[in-house]
A and B are shown apart, each in its own frame.
Chain A
Amino acid sequence: MESLDLKLLEVCSRCGACYHICPSCLNLPDYDPRAVIKDILAGKYEKWLNHKSIWQCLECHHCLEICFQRYGFENAMTAMRTVASKKGITSPQVKRGWDMFIKTGRLGEPMASARKKLNLPESAKSGAEDFKKMVKLYQEEKTAGSKE
């Protein structure tokens, strides 16, 4: 939540211009970002962490493009998802994706048999080893930072 600019969010909670362009607002009956934002501003956002709404922002960036503050409520949804993830409240697929990302640096490995059939060249080498080394350094630094 510390990544959010509450002053801008305060305006968001009273504006709602992006409701007319947000695909989820237009098509998903219970999706109401302003309700979430109002609760964030009131410090009562916990009740949303378990709610499907916070995962319904499609990150299409329409709100960002149309917003006169150049902010958009996408930021609030991302912050909520981060808090939920930290508490381990995510869908099974997000968890699977994350585990695979951390383990291999990718979200899927090239299909060797299909490549051969299509006469495609061998795929370029993955940077998984360097990636894992880098993640380790990053996490060490993060833990050290949080202890300070």
Chain B
Amino acid sequence: MKDFAIFWGCTIPARFPFLEKSTRMVLEGFDLPYRDLDGFTCCPEKSLVNNVDHGLWVLTAARNIALLDKAQVDLVSPCTGCASNLATVNSELHMNHKEKEKINNILKEVGLEFKGENKLRHLVPFFHDEVGIPKIKNKIVKPLYGMRVAIHYGCHMIRPSHALKNDDPLDPKKFDNLIRAMGAESVQYMTKLMCCGQGLDRVDQHENALHFARLKLKELKAKNVDAMVLCCPSCYLQFDNNQFLMEKEGEKFGIPILYFTELMGLAMGYKPEELGIDSHRIDANGFLEKWERLNRELTKTEEITRAMEAGFGIA
């Protein structure tokens, strides 16, 4: 596998360093050739920078991509926004040579050149396509059998599809496959592909943002899921933090929000505290207790099976 740089983005290191922790633990657990690259800035966020100045949005992303060209490494990001923004600009510059030339004239002054020769991927499709399900299954020591998990893809893991080419933009499967490989059930629900709505919090429309959070959480509560799993810090903020704010006002949902790397880390046998799951605002105790109980029962079943096989002389 080619070496890759991890693009952490702004939100994970600034607000959720524990998500960085679980991501590193999982990458190291799989012994993947990742590295931290100096010099990255904000990807930059489309809904902020592109709205104000398209040219600067393209230029900043092109500079980040040019750093990869210089180091000759691929990129993997645990943030959907970063992955999508970088891929969108990458695709735009591959189609618009005039713009690329203009960009490179400026990048020359800081010793860089945009070529866009390396793969830009989000962590989830990266795991699905490059690590692969068989290898993942081999790493699972404490499967999630019996756990009912609702996947929230996060818009920018899969859209815009012309740039990301990660999965079907309207009927994605890869995240589901990964969750199933860990042994969990991926619960299907009506609002599965709906946007989290966190963007509204960034334009001072907090009530509307809560409205969107509520839509999904209500449905998931009715579906009696054990947790929601996602892989985007912005969606995480929306469902963990905003759920916490609503619970403080008396609206109870009780849906733990787990990051993809946390769920994977648990299945790989890491402790919840090591992974930083105790830093969440919505505690995951209900999820963890059920999972421990099911695993105990599973061990018991296995013991009985072994004893019976020995008794019948099958083993």
Residues of A within 8 A of B (CB): 3, 23, 27-28, 52, 55-56, 58-62, 64-66, 70, 78, 81-82, 85, 90-94, 97-98, 101, 105-111, 114-115, 118-121, 123-128, 130-131, 133-135, 137-138, 141-142
Contact = CB atoms under 8 A, between A and B. Distances in A.
Contacts, number: 169
A142 B55 contact: yes
A64 B109 CA distance: 36
Interface in B10-24: 10-11, 13-15, 17-18, 20-21, 24
A61 to B, nearest CB: 4
A61 B159 contact: yes
A131 B51 contact: no
B195 A60 contact: yes
Contacts of A91: 203-204
A118 B52 contact: no
16 contacts: A58-B155, A60-B155, A64-B159, A93-B204, A94-B48, A101-B45, A105-B41, A106-B41, A108-B15, A115-B13, A115-B17, A119-B21, A123-B8, A127-B64, A134-B107, A134-B110
Interface of B: 8, 10-11, 13-15, 17-18, 20-21, 24, 36-42, 44-56, 59-60, 63-64, 67, 106-107, 109-110, 155-156, 159-162, 169-170, 194-195, 197, 199-200, 202-205, 208, 211-212, 215, 276
Contact of A111 (B13, B38, B47, B48): B13
